[in-house]
Every structure is written in structure tokens, then in C-alpha cells.
Structure 1
């Protein structure tokens, strides 16, 4: 599996579905089929739903799923630190890590722990970004489980991201909470080599 292709495809799919994002669906599907066929199957329900659903409805469901319910919040440090003073320090540290890797997020309108931004970081700087995703593996798994419980087509996208990381995913919420309590996992992260089939860079976040 080409993790970088999966990470960038997921960054697009989990961003606000404006016309540019929705219009990229065929490109996303082709890139995944070529570079990550197993992940393509996980993305397929969302891409099919996009194709058969009016854009306004897709956008409404996105807002209802991710903006109106904390159960599906895409802000990774929210799951570990909540709305606390510590989270402010975490966000500042994330910005520093992005700057050191040469990724500027100013002007995106999103916090640095927003999952599409973190995924774009993983595409831009695979070693550092994939390590960051692994640090927040419990957050990813809790989002995956919550979306699955909702029956959301976005669940497969988050599951595909989890599949790019070492170790098995927890089977249920209780196991995911135990993972969170145990702290960041320490498994080494395997990286794919640069692949020219990567999708063109797209900004993450709401427009």
C-alpha cells in the first residue's frame, strides 16, 4: 500500500466537500486503484455516495457529521486534551513541527490538529507526518469507531488511514480507550518511497 497516496486522498475526502473537492473524486479513485487497491475499496462507499448525491446534501451531511457533533470531531488533540490549556500548547507545538518540515498552514483557516491538515503533513513529510499520525492513533481509532457506529461513508476513509499505521486497530471503543490510556504507541513506522503517482497538492480545510 502506498501510504502517501492514501494520506493525501484522505486529506481531500475529509475536507469540506466544496466543488473542487467533489470534482476531484474521479482522480482520487484512479490514484487509489493504481497505488493502493486495498484502500480504494475503503474509499469506494464515500466516492459512490458523492457521485449519486447532490452537492448541497453532501455538504449538509458533512457539517452535521463533523461540525455539529463532538463524537466525530476531526481535531485530533481534542480527543486527548479536550478544551484545556494544555491543548493550546499542543497546537503551538504542531505549528512548530510543520514549520520545521517546511509546511505552511497559515491561511488555511484550520487548526494544526485538523485531521486533513495532519494528513497533508504526512504527505508532505512522510517520516514526521506518519509518526504524528501514530502519536494520535487513539484519536484516529475513536473517530473511526464513532463514524462506523453512525453508518457514515466517511468511516472507510479513516479506516484506510489507520491501516497505513503499524499494529492492529482496536475492535471496539473500550479497546480504543485503553489504547489512549496507554499513551502513544512506539512501533516503528514503515514508509513508502516517493511515488510520482501522488495526487496534486490541494489545500485542506473548509473554504
Structure 2
């Protein structure tokens, strides 16, 4: 993984953001980042560009409704990672506070209504970190990324390409279109047995979003 992981992680974070007018306006820039990204499989690049094309050409209301159906209704494809680890259990609160503190120590102030474990926010945080920590963190949650990605494949959603790209960055086992999709309660809970994210310290940074947040 080279230093271009910074801008690539921000591009992938943007693609997992709500597809409003601001995101659609940023799609040409995001597409350029994907085309120029190194250390990415050709097939994955093509799938990401197909997602960008779908978001750009599709009816805005349909695109937004599809996003809500995929990511905001139910746990199985939730972008809040601790949903797949702690559910609504009492351990989720402390884990959330710990993650937020890590963001603050890196100079990233969480904004908006999203929770700290929201995947796009985690990717923005990782864009401030070195390549070794990026890979380690993505490997820590690879089984969750794979579970979500496989579910998206079963739904024939182009968003699965984002999860394929993240697993490639982690150099972890990729998606499997033939894998049985487990029920949410059957997700591997081994992530609870170790810190969810690396605890290294890095100089503060202020990542710039592709899309300005309100």
C-alpha cells in the first residue's frame, strides 16, 4: 500500500455516504481517484466505476431510496460496525466512547449525527494514519466487511465493490458470491476479544471531505 491510500480511503468513504446532490456533484472527482489508484485489482476498479456511473446516471430519488433500504433498515448491512459486534448490548457504549477518543487524539472531530463506528467516519480517520495501521485495522474488522459485502453481493448491489476494495487494502480474503450468508446473530464475535482498532498514536490531522458536511 502506497501513500495514495489517503485519498483512496476518502473516496471510498464518500461512496458510502448518503447519495445526495453534493455527493453526486463530487462523483467525477471520485472517479478520477479510483482510476488513478494503485494496488487495486482491475476488476475491483471496474466495479467501483460502475457504481459511480450508477449513482451519476440513476434517478436521484431512486438512488437515495435504495441507499436507505440497504444501509439504514436493519442490522445485516448496517454501516455502524459495532452493530455487528455488540448489537444493542451494554458493551457498545464504552466501545463507542473509546473510538471517539481515538478520533479526538488524531485531531478528527466527529461531526453530524453519525456514530463513531460509522464506517465512512472510520475510513476518514484511517486516512490520517499510516499504511501499516490502515491495514491492521481493516484486517481486524475484515470478517465484518466480508459479511456485509457478501450480503450486498446476494442483493446484487454495486456497493459490494467498496467492501471488495477495502478487503484488498487489508490484503485479506475477499468476497465470495457463493458463500452462504449468515443471519446477523451468527456473525463472528471474536472482534470483542481484542481492541477493535489499533491504539497507536499519530500527529493530528484534519482530513478534507469530498462532500462538505452540514
> What band does the TM-score fall into relative to the shorter chain?
0.7 to 0.9
Deviates more, 1:124-133 or 1:86-95: 124-133
Q: Per the alignment, do residues 129 and 108 of structure 1 end up closer, same or farther by CA in structure 2, a change over 3 Å counting?
A: farther
Q: Does the 8 Å CA contact 1:118/1:133 hold for their aligned counterparts?
A: no
Q: Does 1:113 align with 2:117?
A: yes
Higher relative contact order (CA 8 A, sep 6+): 1
Are the equivalent residues in 2 in contact too, given 1:137–1:162 (CA < 8 A)? yes
Structure 2 match to 1:192: none
Change (3 A) 1:166 1:146: same
Counterpart residue number, 1:158: 163
TM-score, normalised relative to structure 1? 0.81
Aligned to 1:137: 142
Q: Which residue of 124, 138, 149 corresponds with 2:128?
A: 124
CA distance in structure 1 between the partners assigned to 2:96 and 2:180 by the alignment: 25
Query: Is residue 3 of structure 2 the alignment partner of residue 14 of structure 1?
Result: no
1:103 aligns with 2:108: yes
The structure with the greater share of residues assigned to helix is 1
C-alpha RMSD of the superposition: 2.9
Gap regions ≥5 residues in structure 1? 190-198
Superposed CA offset, 1:6-46 (max 9, x none)? 31111000001111111111111111111236342231221
Q: Note the residue ranges of structure 2 that are not aligned, 5 or more in a row.
A: 199-206
| Cross-structure match for 1:5 | 7
Task: Write the deviation string for residues 126-177 of structure 1: whole angstroms up to 9, x where unpaired.
Answer: 45454333322221111111111110111111111111003323643579x9
1:55-97: CA deviation from partner (whole Å, max 9, x where unpaired): 1111111111111232210011110111111011110110011
**2:77 is matched with which residue?**
72
Task: Give the whole-Å Cα distance in 1 for the aligned partners of 2:108 and 2:174.
Answer: 29
